[in-house]
Amino acid sequence: MDLRLRDSVVVVTGASRGLGAAMAIALAAEGAHVVAAARSAQSLEAVAEQGGGRISTVETDMRDEASVAALVPEVIARHGRIDGLINNAGIAPAGKFVDQDPAIWKDALAVNVIAPMMLAQAAGRHMIEQQAGRIVNVASTTGVRGKPHLVGYSTSKGAVVRMTEALAAEWARHNVQVNCIAPGAFVTEAQKAVTESPELHARRVAKIPAGRMADPAELVPLACLLVSPASPFTTGGVFVVDGGESGKL
């Protein structure tokens, strides 16, 4: 199936590792011009080297509103347009809710909600003007169902889900599709503490009906489809990718 991504311009945040890196590399393989954004310039360059000359990088700090505000204008200055945005960057502070300082919540909301909102707004203005565009927000299964010791993360990702649905309804008439992916347990650097501990890994996998954690490559086809022109009537969706975990009682 031709996703018609060749020469489209797609921004991927949190693209220096894990799911973001996998999506950036896959989109480049589909022929898109990918702008990979993250804090680590060195890690971004390592990702760009795998893009066949189709991945450029922008060092962006999602905690810094000025840095976030500069991203979309930089993309348009380079390419003259923006066709897709994948809001993937996020943080997941863990801890007992009764012990958490409000500063931890503010940090999670800044990275997981405010930054994606700012980028969606900036990209959306351009997409509405060109009457075409796709935004994919990466939430989490904890944004669909709450999880103990991740109350701030669950709250922020729940906000991302609601933002996705509201923007989809508001922008559908402009041919701008907004969807959300809610990943479950994937083998990424963020899950290193789990994957490197046989005990923790066994306990985590026991909760997943599929009986394993997923590889980032297993998220890539859905992300590419949702950010492509091949799914023009799909908007406002929340696509859970978790091996059946959130579907069980």
pLDDT computed for residue 201 by the predictor: 93
Residue 3 in contact with residue 26, Cβ under 8 Å? Answer: no
Q: For the structural domain made of 9-183+219-240, what CATH number should be given?
A: 3.40.50.720
Buried b (16+ CB within 10 A) or exposed e, 172-181: eeebbbbbbb
pLDDT tens profile 64-78: 999 999 999 999 999
- % of the chain beyond a pLDDT of 90: 94
CB 190 within 8 A of CB 18: yes
Tell me, what's the pLDDT at 192?
Answer: 85
Alpha carbons 37 and 17: distance in angstroms, whole number = 11
Where are the domain boundaries for CATH 3.40.50.720 in the chain?
A: 9-183+219-240
Catalytic residues: 153
* Percent of the chain whose pLDDT exceeds 70: 100
Over range 216-245, report the average pLDDT.
97
Beta bridge partners of 57: 36
Q: Say if pTM beats, i.e. exceeds, 0.85.
A: yes
Q: What is the pLDDT of residues 186-217, one digit of tens each?
A: 999 888 888 899 999 999 999 999 999 999 99
